[in-house]
Amino acid sequence: MGLTDHIKKIAVIGAGTMGHGIAEVAAYSGYEVYVYDIKQEFLDNALNRIRWSLDKLHSKRMVKEDVDTIMARIKTSLDFEEVVRDADFVIEAVPEKIELKKEIFKRLDELTPQHAILATNTSSLPITEIASATNRPDKVVGMHFFNPPPLMPLVEVIRGEKTSSITMRMTIELAKKFGKQAVTVAKDVPGFIVNRILLRIMSSACWLVTSGNASIEAVDAAARYKLDFPMGVFELADYSGIDVFYYVASAMAERGTKIYDCPLFKEKFEKGEYGVKTGKGFYEYPSPGKYVKPEIPKEAAEDINPVYIIASAINEAAYLISEGIANKYDIDKATMLGLGYPKGILRYADEYGLDTIVNALEELARESGMDDFKPHPYLKEMVNKGLLGVKSGQGFYRYPSYEEEKMENIIIRYEKPIAWILLNRPNKLNALSPKLLSELSTALDKIEENDDIRVVILTGVGRAFSAGADVNSFVGVTPFKATIYSRRFQEITNKIEYFTKPVIMMINGFALGGGMELALSGDFRIASELAMVGQPEINLGIIPGAAGTQRLARLIGASKAKEVIYTGDMYNAYEALEIGMVDKVVPPEHLEEYTRKFALKLAEKPPLALLAAKYAIQLGLETDLWHGEALESRR
Ligand code: COA
């Protein structure tokens, strides 16, 4: 029995950008949703936007239910009382004005049932103060979604001074039922995790420019090409709106957060140059409102050391940890899922080395004369203890020593007795090109010959395991060539199925089409909660061509396999677990450690016995019981 099983009706107050998105998420997650706003036009507009978005998600097969069925769960009204009466959970998403929010919470307290939890989607206002307008501050909580809510997988759950533990747990559980990853913010600090980290990145970037150390272009090139951020720092400000950051930074400063008051942002804000929406910000956009990726040459990053961009954000993370506001896993999850970074900010810290970060902060503090760049005592203490990160084997995380061999699209990491094979085309969601497959085949051969390696873990870099066969390699190919490609791919899956060491598939994100077929050939499939799997080939007018029709049916039975293959639907990790496409689901922050532990357990077993068991089981699946038993006895 879950803590939130009684929640049936959700009320959303405010139908704007965030409100309508939150209502959509709640509705496609199966809840009855009532939405309130002050004008009919706002409500109509919200319903149109929700339908448009649901149509899109449905066409991508990310929601399976019929759009009309989901829409039927959403009711709108101008009558506040009608909306909130009987609500089990309320999410408020009105403009960021404290008096307005307090007034709303006062009325919510009067009109909703005693058990109802009242959540605010504020990004900058204090939860404790909002809660003070009610007689149930223990049931008031922050629930901060990211824009757009249906696509952004993160929710920050914030504890006000009086929020109870049970309210926190229920809100986190509900966020999970919405298909989101929740992170806990244990104290009501301005900006929570993501905005605090991001504003440090922005203020450092800004200082580098205003001090004459770098150009805007150089900073953005370093962010994109050296740190692998999805966008440059100034590009992101343009994309999300310079006005938005200006307001968030001002609200944080008003609440006492010491942060470099960046003149570049102020200047743009005062000129009304907000970025994409006005056609001009730090870059220019020919049609206002339409984002076009600014051209930033790679070479612009040559003279800039990206450590100066991230050091202050790492300092902020150290503050959050040392004050008990957030733990390291949640901080990294928040930076990956809220900002789209390929790894958590603390992983960057460990990779650059904490001594390097502390030195960079000292230099920044000295040159700028600003105290907010000074290294936090927590970081200095880590350095004093020799916890420097990857190079010392321990920083925020522990690092077993390893050696790497890099090919164009594959990395082999030898971490004896485990070998990790990393599919490394993150910008193409690790699509399986002929080149990648041939490197994978070579990697497998090398690992098989290596006596120090007992177990193999195969996974993808970035947000995908693999989104399938590279569709570009099919363009204009003859049926004959397609058959060759299919056969070669089948050979690799066979090689894995009959590999002489156990192969674990660590499904970190999308495993679609050929990506799923690759995963099917392994001995085990351990999936992150963020994984999405499926066989979407039918939507392209083809069928799985790397033994997917065969292995999937053997794994989950013919009817279920037919359902997966005929519909081409995508399944989330828990749906995949239920039908047997994966064996285990793990929160993303624990995926690597869980998989490593499992691999190490297997590595302790006698290799020849493992091999005998594997062959007896695999070959036995292809034959009758008697031959299968004979196989067993011969070994
Ligand atoms: N082959 C080649 N490139 C692929 C690919 C594939 N199977 N899947 C994704 N990519 C590329 C995209 O073209 C894009 O590259 P670009 O930035 O240079 O344009 C990049 O990976 C990111 O993908 P994108 O579609 O922008 O990400 P998204 O988050 O919007 O959507 C998916 C993710 C997985 C839903 C979507 O990429 C998809 O449907 N991919 C195809 C899956 C498929 O049909 N596989 C079976 C092929 S047999």
Alpha carbon nearest to ligand 1 atom 14, residue? 428
The residue contributing the CA closest to ligand 1 atom 21 is 428
Q: Specify whether 32 is catalytic.
A: no
Residue 95: in which H helix or E strand, if any? none
- Please report the sign of the dihedral spanned by the C-alpha atoms of residue 20, residue 22, residue 25, residue 28: negative
CA distances from 285 to 221, 231, 267, 272, 520 (A): 18, 15, 18, 14, 45
Signed CA dihedral, 610, 615, 616, 621: sign only: positive
Give the pLDDT score at 635: 61
Residues of the chain with pLDDT under 50: none
Distance between Cα 464 and ligand 1 center (Å) = 10
Catalytic residue among 439, 517, 529, 589: 517
Ligand 1 center from residue 429 Cα (angstroms): 6
CA of 431 to the centre of ligand 1 (A): 8
Ligand 1 atom nearest the C-alpha of 463 is 29
DSSP codes, 66-77: -HHHHHTTEEEE
Question: Using CA positions, which residue lies closest to atom 18 of ligand 1?
Answer: 428
Hey, which of 429, 437, 510 would you mutate to test ligand 1's pocket, going by the most ligand atoms within 8 Å of its Cβ? 429
Per residue in 366-401, pLDDT tens?
999 998 899 999 999 999 999 999 999 999 999 988
**Mean pLDDT of the chain, nearest integer:** 95
Q: Do domains 9-185 and 405-604 have the same CATH topology?
A: no
Decide: helix, strand or coil at residue 359: helix
Residue 303 has what pLDDT?
A: 87
How many CA atoms within 13 Å lie on the side-chain side of 463? 16
Task: Give 606's strand partners.
Answer: none
Q: What is the separation of C-alpha 162 from the centre of its chain, rounded to a whole number of angstroms?
A: 30
Instruction: Say how many Å lie between the CA of residue 2 and the centre of ligand 1.
Output: 36
Ligand 1, atom 10: nearest CA belongs to which residue? 428
8 Å CB contact between 430 and 464: yes
Write the single-letter amino acid at 183.
Answer: V
* CA 512 – ligand 1 centroid, Å: 10
Distances (CA, A) of 359 to 67, 200, 353, 375: 55, 17, 10, 8
Structure tokens at 289: 């409102």
- Stretch (H or E) spanning 91: strand 89-92
- pLDDT for position 1: 55
| Identity of the residue numbered 248 | V
The 10 Å Cβ neighbour count of residue 433 is 17
The token pair that represents 123 in the structure block? 């990004």
Distance between Cα 467 and ligand 1 center (Å): 6
- Of residues 318, 51, 4, 319, the one with CA closest to residue 182: 4
Q: Which residue's C-alpha comes closest to atom 41 of ligand 1? A: 467
**What is each CA distance from 129 to 36, 104, 150, 249, in whole angstroms?**
23, 13, 29, 19
Q: Domain 194-392, CATH 3.30.1360.100 — does that match?
A: no
Which residue CA neighbors atom 37 of ligand 1 most closely? 467
Atom number, ligand 1, closest to the C-alpha of residue 471 = 1
Q: What pLDDT sits at residue 535? A: 97
Residue that is written with structure tokens 């448009």 in the block: 52
Pick the CATH number of 9-185 from 3.40.50.150, 1.10.10.10, 3.40.20.10, 3.40.50.720: 3.40.50.720
Q: Where are the domains of the chain?
A: 9-185, 194-392, 405-604
Strand partners, 76: 35
Beta carbons within 8 Å of 33's beta carbon, 6+ residues apart: 9, 10, 11, 12, 23, 26, 27, 73, 74, 75
The residue with tokens 């350095």 is 383
| Cα of 239 from ligand 1 centre, angstroms | 22
Name which residue sits closest to atom 1 of ligand 1, judged by CA.
470
428, 437, 475: residue to mutate for ligand 1 pocket, most atoms within 8 A of CB = 428
- pLDDT at residue 247, as a whole number: 86
Q: Which atom of ligand 1 is nearest to the CA of 62?
A: 35
Residue 320 CA, ligand 1 centroid: distance in Å: 36
- Nearest atom in ligand 1 to the alpha carbon of residue 60 is 35
Q: For helices 194-210 and 263-271, what crossing angle results, to 10°?
A: 100
Candidates 3.30.479.10, 3.90.226.10, 2.30.40.10, 3.30.360.10; CATH matching 405-604:
3.90.226.10
- The ligand 1 atom nearest the CA atom of 510: 34
Q: Of 537, 589, 604, 622, which residue is the catalytic one?
A: 537
pTM over 0.75: yes
Ligand 1, CB within 6 Å, residue ranges: 60, 428-429, 431, 467-472, 510, 512-514, 536-537
Is 537 in the active site?
Answer: yes
Tokens of 207: 């200082």
Residue found under tokens 């790492």: 314
Q: Which residues of 17-46 are buried (b: 16+ CB within 10 A; e: fewer)?
A: ebbbbbbbbbbbbebbbbbbbeeeebbeeb
pLDDT, tens only, 322-366: 999 999 999 999 999 999 998 899 999 999 999 999 999 999 999
Please state whether beta strands 503-507 and 524-528 pair in parallel, antiparallel, or not at all (unpaired): parallel
